[in-house]
Amino acid sequence: MFKAKAAFFAVSCVLASLAMLVMVAQLHAQCYGSLALSPDFFGYDYLVRICVHFGEISAIPYDIVCGTTLPPGGHPVGFPVYAYNLYDGIDYLEFSIESKDSLARFVPAGDFQIVSASADREDGLYRINLILEAAWPVCGPVFVGTAEVEQASGVDPIWVDLVPNRDTGEMSARDRNGSQHYLFSPKHGGYAGTDYLYTCQEPICPEPNLPVTDLSAVTGPGCSIKVGWTSGGGERTMVRYHPDHYPSGYEDGALLCEVQTLPGEVSFYYHYGIPQGQLVYYTAFSLTRDASGNIELDSFVECSAMDTVRASCVIAVEESSWSEIKSIYR
C-alpha cells in the first residue's frame, strides 16, 4: 500500500513538475506546492496554509519542523497542526487527517471548537473528517489542535496527511467577511520515526516571501498618517490602502508606496491628502520583482502586516498661525 502510494507520488511529482513549467510560462504565476495560480485566481493571492509543526510557533513559516522521533513505550503520538497566511483572520477550517495507524482523536486548541467530526477507515487508512470554527477571527500563525495517533507495535514511521474533508470534498478556510478560501498543506503532513517520502516534503515551487510585520498607522504631523513597518523577505515593500477593508492583494485598493527594502529593515512613509475623519485600512506586501519589473513572488500576510487608523489633523498651535489652522478645515 505504502510503496504504491510512494510510487504514485513520485510519478505525480514528475508530471506535476512538467505541467508546472508549462503553466508558469503561460501565466507568469507563482506556484504553491502542486498548484500554479495567477495572483487573481481566487480574487486575490490568498491561499491559507495548514501544516504539522513540532517546533516553536515563531518558526512558522520559514522553518516548519514536520518530523520528530517516536516516543518510547508505544505511547500515542501527538501531531500538532497549525494554520498560517490568514490575513486579517479566519474563523472556520474544513479538512481531513489521514494516517496508517489508528487516529484516536483530534483535540482542538483553545481558539477552535469541533462543529463536525466523523471517523472512518478505508484501504488500510484511518481518517478523521473535521469542521472547526472559532468564536472570533484568529490571526496566524495559530495552533489549531493535536491529532493523536495510537502507536502500533513495531510500526515505524507513523505519519499523518492533511487532505480534503472526505465527507464534503472541501479543504477550505473562511475569513472574517464570510468568504471561503482554499486551504492546503505545502508539506502534506508530518511523521514520527524514520523519514517518510510522502509527508513532510519540501514544496515543489518556492513559497511566498516572509510577511511584513509590525505595520502601524498613526496620525502624523499636520493632517498626515505615518505608516511604519518591518520589511519581509522580499526586496521591495508595497503598502496599499482602502477606505472600507484591508487590501487583500497587491492589486486591491490604492497604492500608497512601493519602496526598495532589505529583509528586517524598519521603514516608514507619510500618507497625505486623507480627508479629516476618514477611516483608512492598510496592508503591506513584501515583493520580489524580476528583471522586467513583473512580480515574481508575493508574500505571506498575517494580521501584523495590517493596521487601520482614522485620519485626524494634529496641529502644533505654537507653530501655527490662526489663519493656517483655519485653512486646514476649509
What CATH number has the domain bearing residue 43? 2.60.40.680
pLDDT at position 21, please?
A: 35
Q: Minimal CA–CA distance to 303: which of 14, 83, 81?
A: 83
Q: How confident is the model at residue 198 (pLDDT cuts 50, 70, 90)?
A: confident
Task: Give CA angle at 250 (206, 235), nearest 5°.
Answer: 55
- Domain match, 75 and 133 both: yes
pLDDT at position 153, please?
A: 64
Q: Tell me the pLDDT tens digit for each residue of 124-183.
A: 889 999 999 999 999 999 999 999 998 876 678 899 999 999 999 999 999 988 888 888
pLDDT at position 127, please?
A: 94
Domain boundary among 138, 159, 192: 192
Task: Kindly state whether residue 264 falls inside one of the protein's structural domains.
Answer: yes
pLDDT of 196 higher than 80: no
- Domain match, 70 and 184 both: yes
pLDDT at position 315, please?
A: 61
Q: Mean of the pLDDT values across residues 191-213?
A: 84
- Domain match, 288 and 252 both: yes
Domain boundary among 143, 158, 192: 192
Phi, then psi, of 303 in degrees rounded to 5: -55, -30
Q: Residue 113: which domain range?
A: 38-192
Residue linked to cell 498618517: 225
Q: Tell me the pLDDT tens digit for each residue of 20-74.
A: 333 333 333 345 444 444 444 433 347 899 999 999 999 999 999 999 998 887 7
DSSP bridge partners of 79: 147
- Domain match, 294 and 233 both: yes
Burial per residue of 20-58, b for 16 or more beta-carbon CB atoms within 10 angstroms, e otherwise: beebeeeeebbbbbbbbbebebbebbbbbbbbbbbeeee
pLDDT at position 195, please?
A: 77
- Domain match, 77 and 126 both: yes
Cis peptide before 61 (omega within 30 of 0): yes
pLDDT at position 199, please?
A: 86
- Domain match, 166 and 50 both: yes
What CATH number has the domain bearing residue 277? 2.60.40.10
- Domain match, 58 and 173 both: yes
Task: Kindly state whether residue 8 falls inside one of the protein's structural domains.
Answer: no
200 versus 272: which is more confidently predicted?
A: 272
Q: Tell me the pLDDT tens digit for each residue of 268-296.
A: 999 999 999 999 999 999 999 999 999 88
2 versus 217: which is more confidently predicted?
A: 217
Q: Tell me the pLDDT tens digit for each residue of 233-275.
A: 999 999 999 999 999 888 899 999 999 999 999 999 999 999 9
Task: Kindly state whether residue 240 falls inside one of the protein's structural domains.
Answer: yes
Give the three-state DSSP class for 310.
Answer: strand
What is the number of structural domains in the chain? 2
